[in-house]
Amino acid sequence: MIINHNITALNTHRQLSSASNAQSKSMEKLASGLRINKAGDDAAGLAISEKMRGQIRGLEMGSKNAQDGISLIQTAEGALNETHSILQRMREIAVQSSNDSNTDGDRQELQKEMDQLIEEIDRIGNTTEFNTKKLIDGSKSGVTEQLGNVTFDNQGDSALFTTVVASTAAVAGTPGTEADETINVKITDYDATADTYSFEWTTQDGQTAAVTGVAAAGGAQTIATADGSYSLTFGAIGVEDIGKEATFTSRASVEEYANNSLSFQIGANSSQTMNVDINDMRAAALNVDNIDVSSAASAESSISAINKAIEDVSAQRSKLGAFQNRLEHTINNLGTSQENLTAAESRIRDVDMAKEMMEQTKNSILSQAAQAMLAQANQQPQGVLQLLR
């Protein structure tokens, strides 16, 4: 019999420690409701569920962002609703003033109201805000471009028709700077006595003229259109070139693009955005800033201008309505995604309470049994005292 090492007690103590640790873990899970309380519980599950939690919270915030976007759009659309009402009243005044039952004095009074209505359109455009952001003053109109120099491409014999550029101030006329201006140039005749050539130019809107006295060696010639003056440079010209032609089209180089539209973050990840642009809805942009109803003729012509402004506001309101509907669909989609992702995260992270209660009960019984057996094991060495009797 051995008394220094009670192997039975050691084994029972180990089993008791194991049961007590298992019971402690079960109680922790039952108390928190989570299967994973620390990385040691499930290292991979923790990493996956934390990534899912980030997505879930991102989707929730994306939904809130979309709701804020709807509020912004409704603010702008509400302002345009009043602009619509003002334009309808302006049209009513124009129709009234165009009737010759009114005197000049009557029309002057109508003009006073018209001027005030125009100012109110500007005031609405300049002061409509959401969270201090101006909405319908043109500052959120989308992608704008800053034009650089206007150059011409040559669709023809590049050796004969070398270059055409906007002329300098030294040449009579205004330098041509209009983009998409198209000029066709054709060599038409040869004067053998003077050894000079003639050419004819024609623009896309029908302007045309003939130029004579072009030297055989070529050189710069001036093309003066209603839109501006251009300098065309010829190479060496021969008789065989009569009838040759080239078309030059002006291309405006873009130096800078600026996107000033509103960007709504409507997803959990980067680049999941939606851009909303709102045009300038002030009087000048709607071309109603100079409406004159002081005479029957001007009042008659102003009706068409106001009609166009009403159409522009209607188009902008329609676009805003489409944005709002899109955001509402986005909110529904985000809600569905959040719900499904939450269910997946719950399966990884949450504990099955019924199953864990079974484990806790088992571990509790084992712990109690181990305690009882440890007490018995501790009594075994006392049997050696019987040998002393």
pLDDT digits (tens, 9 = 90+) for 228-281: 777 788 888 999 989 888 877 666 565 556 678 999 999 999 889 999 999 999
CATH 1.20.1330.10 residue ranges in the chain? 58-143+259-336
**pLDDT grade for 226, boundaries at 50, 70 and 90:** confident
Q: Tell me the CA distances in angstroms from 17 to 38, 120, 160, 319, 324, one per residue in order.
A: 21, 83, 100, 70, 63
d(CA 154, CA 152) in angstroms, rounded, equals: 6
Q: Is the pTM of this model over 0.75?
A: no
58-143+259-336 is a CATH 1.20.1330.10 domain:
yes
Nearest C-alpha neighbor of 77 from the set 371, 320, 379, 353: 320
Q: CB count, 10 Å around CB of 372?
A: 11
Tokens of 87: 């334009």
Highest mean pLDDT among 13-17, 157-161, 339-343, 380-384: 339-343
Alpha helices, DSSP H, located in the chain? 7-32, 43-97, 104-127, 296-349, 353-379
pLDDT digits (tens, 9 = 90+) for 86-95: 999 999 999 9
